[in-house]
A and B are shown apart, each in its own frame.
Chain A
Amino acid sequence: MSDSAITFPGARRPDRQTTVDSHGLAIAVHEWGDEAAPPILLAHGGFDFAGTFSVFAPLLADAGFRAISWDHRGHGDSQYAALYNWEADLRDAAAVFDSVSFAPMPVIGHSKGGSLMLQLADALPHRVSHLINLDGLPSRRSFPDVSDHQRTKLMADELTAWLDHRRSLADAQRKPGTIAELAERRGRMNPRLDADWLRYLVTIGAREQADGWRWKIDPTLRLGGFGPWRPEWSMMRLPDIGVPVLAVLGTEVDPMGWGTTAADVVSHLPPGGRLVMLEGAGHFLHIEKPRQVADLVLEVLA
């Protein structure tokens, strides 16, 4: 099946695509809606790409906004980097902001993108008019109940696996497959998402080569890992925010979610901040309930 034959109800490819230079790295930017309309920025989650907003962003565009998203470095159509860290992702985001406007703009972030935008709003409050966070508020990490000895062994295994991975990267490639196979692989981490949607995503987030389709994401990136980062370092930014804040969480447990509860968020909301629990939704709120999330956003912006 050719990629153009695969569609999804309500999904629309961007009206414009361009690249922004971020300190030597090309960041792919995708826009939906009238170029002269008021901008709204959308930040995707880790291992996602701007195309995951293909249903949600058109809803905002049709409501009169210029919806702008970008592929994080190493994701989607953005350039692969030698190194990846949080600060670099923030600078890439700021480069996209600079390419749009220096006036404060509303921003929506999902998952990792939500945490990024939270930090950006704390660091550059003059660039953000409204902050909408879709399950992007990591709460204190829950460690498995294991003994110190077991924990040391787990850490050792993780370190060895990570270093072995780094040693073997020189010619790393993602595994090729058919559209159905790539969709099935992604479905393992996104079990709540519609199979047709996942197949549609393959046609955006993967490219076809002689031996099959491969996800575009940098093959050197891997899920999980370790580092000094603590989830509460993200949540601690939330009380600082001085613009209208909307946080949305799903009520359903999801393997890609943070496991953040309403109580975790409410205790950190700034004055006037609002938390909405979306019944029957998991981690991918804007994909599972695009109309409801768009309406919540439009209400905040009204």
Chain B
Amino acid sequence: MNASVRLRHNRVELALHELRPAAGRPLLLLHGLAERSPTAVPAHLAAWPGAVWALDLTGHGDSDVAIGAGYFCEALMGDVDVAIAHLGAVTLYGRGLGAYVGLLAAGGRAEEVRGAILADGPGLAGGGPSPASPAVPTAVGAPPPGGTPDPWALYELTRDVRPPDYAATFARQASTRSGLDTALAVVGVNRPPWLEAVVQEPGVIEGTLPDALALFARP
């Protein structure tokens, strides 16, 4: 890892890591649930020609924990947006939870996300397409040394509902507002209901990671 910067998103300080400096549009890595940013560019992403950065989402890695929890994916989209404000236009590569958050960010900041690659990883399905039986837990176990990943983040972000039509709305935003022929590339194997809906949308392709990297690396 080269260097890290601290960015403020409301009351949370986020850690944004530069894995490889280079000219050209950065690839921004979004980890899966309970993961953290890698310390070096993973071999399977080495073909990216530009800079590579990685963001620790709230409650993960070197970013702050949200005291009292309240984690939701739209807030994590805000984390990504704060990173975009720092980096400028990016291409996103998201694993699991990071794939869903990457979809939201691609729809929310379509002009500044130049393609998002959605990959398998922990936390891809979330809480499924509709609400489960309600629960009010009083405890989720002690946090690990260092505080992250926050056990409450693990609890809440495996119960958040991800309706297919809601996810599809973000895919539509990404494809209609980005001006890209292809705004989203799904490179994973698993298709939870939200992702099944996303791949049906125009401007979304299913393919291999090398092809997706090559596609979005074009100027």
Cβ-closest chain B residue relative to A98: B138
Residues from chain A with Cβ under 8 Å of B135 in the complex: 123
Proximity bits, A151-166, B CB within 8 Å = 1, else 0 = 0100110011011001
CB pair A83–B58 under 8 Å, yes or no, is: yes
CB pair A81–B70 under 8 Å, yes or no, is: yes
Residues from chain B with Cβ under 8 Å of A8 in the complex: none
Using A82-B11, A94-B138 as known contacts, say yes or no to A23 and B69 having CB atoms under 8 A apart: yes
A22 at the interface (CB under 8 A from B): yes
CB pair B75–A83 under 8 Å, yes or no, is: yes
A229 to B131, CA, bound (A): 9
CB distance from A160 to the nearest CB of B (A): 8
CB pair B173–A156 under 8 Å, yes or no, is: yes
From B18-26, B152-160, B185-193, the one touching the partner chain is: B152-160
CB pair B66–A82 under 8 Å, yes or no, is: yes
Proximity bits, B160-193, A CB within 8 Å = 1, else 0 = 1111001001001100110000000000000000
CB pair A82–B109 under 8 Å, yes or no, is: no
From A39-47, A84-92, A179-187, the one touching the partner chain is: A84-92
Cβ-closest chain A residue relative to B159: A87
Residues from chain B with Cβ under 8 Å of A227 in the complex: 72, 74
Proximity bits, B190-214, A CB within 8 Å = 1, else 0 = 0000000000000000000000000
CB pair A155–B173 under 8 Å, yes or no, is: yes
A226 to B170, CA, bound (A): 12
A163 to B82, CA, bound (A): 9
B3 at the interface (CB under 8 A from A): no
Q: Interface of chain B, helix or strand or loop or mixed? A: loop
Cβ-closest chain A residue relative to B134: A123
Of the listed residues B9, B159, B162, the one surrounded by the most CB atoms of chain A closer than 10 A to its CB is B9
CB distance from A57 to the nearest CB of B (A): 24
Using A88-B69, A152-B173 as known contacts, say yes or no to A163 and B108 having CB atoms under 8 A apart: yes
A163 to B162, CA, bound (A): 20
Cβ-closest chain B residue relative to A169: B10
A162 to B105, CA, bound (A): 12
Residues from chain B with Cβ under 8 Å of A123 in the complex: 133-136
Cβ-closest chain B residue relative to A159: B108
CB distance from B108 to the nearest CB of A (A): 4
B77 at the interface (CB under 8 A from A): yes
A73 to B109, CA, bound (A): 29
B107 at the interface (CB under 8 A from A): yes
A92 to B138, CA, bound (A): 10
Residues from chain B with Cβ under 8 Å of A251 in the complex: none
B141 at the interface (CB under 8 A from A): no
Q: How many residues of B contact A (CB 8 A)?
A: 46
Using A25-B67, A155-B169, A166-B78 as known contacts, say yes or no to A82 and B12 having CB atoms under 8 A apart: yes
CB pair B10–A85 under 8 Å, yes or no, is: no
Choose from A98, A155, A167, A230 the contact partner of B85 (Cβ within 8 Å).
A167
B62 at the interface (CB under 8 A from A): no
Cβ-closest chain A residue relative to B156: A87
CB distance from A70 to the nearest CB of B (A): 14
CB distance from A154 to the nearest CB of B (A): 11
CB distance from B102 to the nearest CB of A (A): 14
Cβ-closest chain A residue relative to B74: A227
Using A94-B138, A156-B177 as known contacts, say yes or no to A228 and B58 having CB atoms under 8 A apart: no
Residues from chain B with Cβ under 8 Å of A81 in the complex: 11, 66-68, 70
A122 to B136, CA, bound (A): 10
Cβ-closest chain A residue relative to B81: A163
Residues from chain B with Cβ under 8 Å of A159 in the complex: 107-108, 173
> Within A1-55, which residues are at the interface with B (CB < 8 Å)?
22-25
CB distance from A102 to the nearest CB of B (A): 12
Residues from chain B with Cβ under 8 Å of A94 in the complex: 136, 138
A235 to B64, CA, bound (A): 35
CB distance from B43 to the nearest CB of A (A): 33
A84 to B162, CA, bound (A): 18
Residues of B within 8 A of A (CB): 8-12, 58, 64, 66-72, 74-75, 77-78, 81-82, 85, 107-110, 130-131, 133-138, 152, 156, 159-163, 166, 169, 172-173, 176-177
